[in-house]
Structure 1
Amino acid sequence: MTTATVHDATELFSSLLQPRNRPDPYPLWERLARYPVARTADGTYLVSGYHDITRLLRDPRVSSNRHIEQTPKGRTVARGADGKPAGRRLLTQDPPVHDKLRRQIMRHLMPRITGIRGHIDRLVARLLDAHATDGPGQLDVVEDLAYPLPVTVICELLGVPREDEPVFREFARRLTRGLDPAESLTEQQLDQLLGARLAMRDNMVDLVGKRKASPRDDLVSALLQGGGEDGPMAVPDLISNLAQLLVAGHETTVNLIANGALALLRHPDVLGRLRSDPRTVTLLVEEVLRYDPPVQMVGRSALADIEVGGTVIPRGSRMRLLLAAGDRDPRRFDDPGAFRPERAGNAHITFGGGLHYCVGAVLARTEAQVALTALARRLDGPRLVADPPPYRDNAILRGPDRLLVAFESLRR
């Protein structure tokens, strides 16, 4: 294992952020993974080893808290329609605030996703039925399935009216760009991001106001009413976490389904096994999560000096935990560049770990399992129209922009 110069680390990371490398960033991840820890020119530390990332995800000296709500390049987010700053978001808080927010969300979210598989089955069937044909045809897996499925599910859970789903889908698409590192964003994109955040907050204020006046059987109403030792969620916190749930519960699953479909079409033997034995889908989805993760990295900061891989990361430093590199670490996974759903001990880190383990992991897995099983069963003679497909610009939430599949028939 060698040590990267600041110049090398900066150049490699900058290349990873370039849209031209979105179709296949893994050679770059492999090069960066030669260094357990690398520092870029702006002082950010990149951590790429599986075991180091796993430890840091659980280390209480590592923080997710952004004490000042800012956009990239230091632009402060303007106040919303309620005239108040944004509330505290689960993903950017440390204990004890994090723990209370998580308990409040999980108390009402988990009962609503228990037993939801049948409903997801019906939604997938309805989406594919719209394109069913006994003859040749074409399907855009992203536009026709991977996007509408999770946005419908998360909007139903939150209580977003069906007629507003397209609006919130567009908000989610625009807001995900703001998750990327600042150096990958233009001034115009920053302006668009600020506008999207304000518009999203205003819509959430309106939704919360309606549910306060007239509660329903949805997550917004439940969080307003509370229950349990933590009581109701404060309205500013609720507004911020609703936006987070919409984006995280939608965009990541879009990429998971699309990346899974792409892997199946590139590996027809695996597709054939899934078609003949749907039970293989559980391990299949776990391998998609490891092999082509929808979330490529997460940001953290050091609350103390932390030694990682022979390097001391100073207190106050920013870190990027490179999940996509860790999931292909040869010291943890045998032949990591191979797509092998039968892989034993596939403890990938795509959903994070520790306190911030993804609250929607169960739902994302279920949606992907149902969608990929249905595609394998119903598509006859599928083939990619373009390989690689076009990708969205996003570096952190990575997935195809379109995934056109030609087929001989799509069974009803």
Structure 2
Amino acid sequence: MNQTSIWQQILDHSHRADPYPLYAELRKTPVVRVEDGSYVVSTYREIVALLHDPRLSSDIRNLPELAAGASAQGPDEGPATLPPSFILTDAPEHDRLRRLLTRNFGPPHRPDRIDSMIPHMFEIVTSEIDGFVGKDRSGTTRVDIVDDFAYPFPVTVICQLLGVPRQDEPRFQAMSDAVVRAGDPSTGGIVERQHRRAKAVADLGQYFAQLLDARHGRHGDDLLSGLLSGDGDETPMSPDEILSNAALLLVAGHETTVNLVTNGMLTLLRHPEVLDRLRRGDEPDLAARVVEELLRYEPPVQFLSNSRNTLDDIEIAGTTIPEGSPVVLVLASGSRDPDFVPDPDRFDPDREHNEHLGFGGGIHYCFGAPLARPETQIALSELAHRLKNPRLVVDPPPYRASPSLRGPRHLLVDLDGVNPGLHRPP
């Protein structure tokens, strides 16, 4: 079987429940050119090298196909677009935007931002699990871990962080879904996907523009207010830069965490011995180790595509990737590379050295990692403590469409009841 057909199978939804055997086949040729002209990189060391190589650009404006498409359009054609968010830029533009975001997100300027949110995270999780009571079916409680828990939890958290009204969720969720669908590499070519994405992000940016206009200069303690105030020595973000980066954070701040929590609960139910250890609560660092192993074993972001492109010829693993080529980095494959990770297909939170690509690497290392880690640790720990005899209704569950942002669409679980929540001091 050739590598191109393997890649097409990975993109095919019929393999969404378990793409890992296909990744093993893909790794036999670490770098392969596939049908749309992209170069797919699937082995750990090669992915890490490219994540740190300045010749691999993350700026979508460097893609030759997009430049050609833009020049072919008239001045009034195509969707109205916002400037790229910081993850779709290179240094030094990336560094400036990321510094401005970080100033309002975490250390060194806001070292207490995430820690101060943890008591509220516990409150949200407690309330959601309390809500499972009453969903009885002939003495058995059936819940959907996605709709009843894993989705509303991070949405509530990211709304609090950004300063977005939680009641607007039905409005922005449709736009967020459109952004995710636009980046699906199984639907259309690179140019078509980027135009869809630009339109979806512009629509979400318009929502934020209306939200900020409605504030009439009344700023709070949220991240958006911090960006608007523009404190610090650097030139603040332009209004359009605020809109594009707010749209990114809203989408990324909940889509990936939904998948991480859901993949985590599914994995724990498939490994009841680990679930039992987490339930007992006598290993203080177990939740952190479980989450790190999940990021390696069942990451929410399977690969990076749609923007990476070469600024020069790059030779890697015996293959030359020509200048101007799109590149796909298959992070989930790299994290299961047996040449780097012993026994990679075994879920083992007791690994001594757990280096993974679950949050990417290089200058684009996941901005939201400091938030996603405690969110997932709290979510999985509380589910383990409070759910009585949880068991899967369907295995494998139905999966979302996207092959890159991979996670179950629903995760039905039957319970024998819900244990009382623990009192946690603020």
Q: Establish whether TM, by shorter chain, passes 0.5.
A: yes
Q: Secondary structure at the match of 1:38?
A: strand
Alignment match, 1:298? 304
Q: Is the 8 A contact 1:141 1:402 kept in 2?
A: yes
Q: 1:321–1:186: structure 2 CA closer, same or farther, 3 Å change rule? A: closer
Deviation of residue 68 (structure 1)? 7.2
For 2:4, the equivalent position in structure 1 comes to 10
Q: Cα deviation per residue 1:198-253 (whole Å; 9 max; x = unaligned)?
A: 43222111122234532222111110111112242110001001110011111000
Question: Which residue is equivalent to 2:82?
Answer: 86
Question: Map of 1:32-111 to 2, 5 A cutoff?
Answer: 32-67=26-61, 78-79=79-80, 85-110=81-106, 111=110
Which deviates the most, 199-208 or 11-20?
Answer: 199-208
Cα distance between partner residues in 2 of 1:194 and 1:296: 22
C-alpha distance in structure 2 between counterparts of 1:313 and 1:184, whole Å: 22
Q: Conserved in 1, the CA contact under 8 Å of 2:159 and 2:166?
A: yes
Does structure 2 conserve the Cα–Cα contact (< 8 Å) formed by 1:306 and 1:312?
yes
Tell me the residue number matched to 1:353: 361
State the 1:145 CA deviation: 0.8
State the aligned residue count. 400
* Pairing of 1:3-402 with structure 2 (within 5 A): 8-67=2-61, 78-79=79-80, 85-110=81-106, 111=110, 112-132=113-133, 136-181=140-185, 183=187, 196-211=200-215, 213-277=217-281, 279=284, 280-299=286-305, 300-402=308-410
Offset of residue 193 of structure 1: 6.2
Query: How far has the Cα of 1:74 moved from its partner?
Result: 5.8
Q: 1:77 to 1:253 in 2, by over 3 A?
A: farther
Q: 1:185 and 1:317 mapped to 2: Cα distance?
A: 14
Partner AA of 1:94 in structure 2: D
Q: 1:383-410, CA deviations, whole angstroms, 9 ceiling, x for partnerless residues?
A: 0000000001011100000000001111
Does the 8 Å contact 1:10/1:41 carry over to 2?
yes
Matched residues in 1 for 2:150 and 2:345: separation?
25
The answer to which of 129-138 and 388-397 deviates more is 129-138
- 1:17 and 1:184 in contact (8 A); partners too: no
Question: 5+ residue gaps in structure 2?
Answer: 71-76, 421-426
Return the alpha-carbon distance in structure 2 between the equivalents of residues 187 and 402 of structure 1. Answer: 31
Letter in 1 for 2:52: R
> Against the structure 1 CA distance between its residues 74 and 388, is the aligned structure 2 distance closer, same or farther, given a 3 Å change threshold?
farther
Is this contact kept in 2: 1:383–1:405, CA < 8 A?
A: yes
TM-score (norm 2): 0.88
**Distance across 1 between alignment mates of 2:227 and 2:348:** 41
Q: 1:41 to 1:172 in 2, by over 3 A?
A: same
**1:230, 1:200 → 2: CA distance?**
26
- Measured on the aligned residues, the alpha-carbon RMSD in Å equals 2.5
- Contact (CA 8 Å) 1:265, 1:382: kept in 2 or not? yes
Relative to structure 2, which stretch is displaced further, 36-45 or 321-330?
A: 36-45
Partner Cα distance (2:167, 2:114) in 1: 22
Q: Is the 1:88–1:236 contact (alpha carbons within 8 Å) kept by the matching residues of 2?
A: no
- Matches of 1:64 and 1:11 in 2, distance apart? 26
Rounded Cα–Cα distance in structure 1 between residues aligned with 2:175 and 2:149 = 18
Deviation at 1:171, TM superposition (A): 2.1
Partner amino acid, structure 2, of 1:98 = H
User: Separation in 2 of the partners of 1:132 and 1:362?
Assistant: 31
Residue 142 (structure 1) shift: 0.4
* Structure 1 position 42, deviation (Å): 2.6
| Contact 1:157/1:218, CA 8 A, preserved across alignment | yes
Relative distance call for 1:189 and 1:136 in structure 2 (3 A) is farther
- Give identity over the alignment, percent: 45
173-182 or 31-40, larger mean C-alpha shift: 173-182
Q: Distance in 2 between matches of 1:43 and 1:191?
A: 18
SS at match of 1:213: coil
Give me the whole-angstrom Cα distance separating, in 2, the residues matched to 1:210 and 1:221. Answer: 13
Q: Tell whether the 8 Å contact from 1:208 to 1:239 is kept in structure 2 after alignment.
A: no
Partner of 1:381, secondary structure, is coil
Contact 1:154 1:250 in 2 (8 A): yes
Per the TM alignment, residue 44 of structure 1 is displaced from its structure 2 partner at its CA by: 1.0
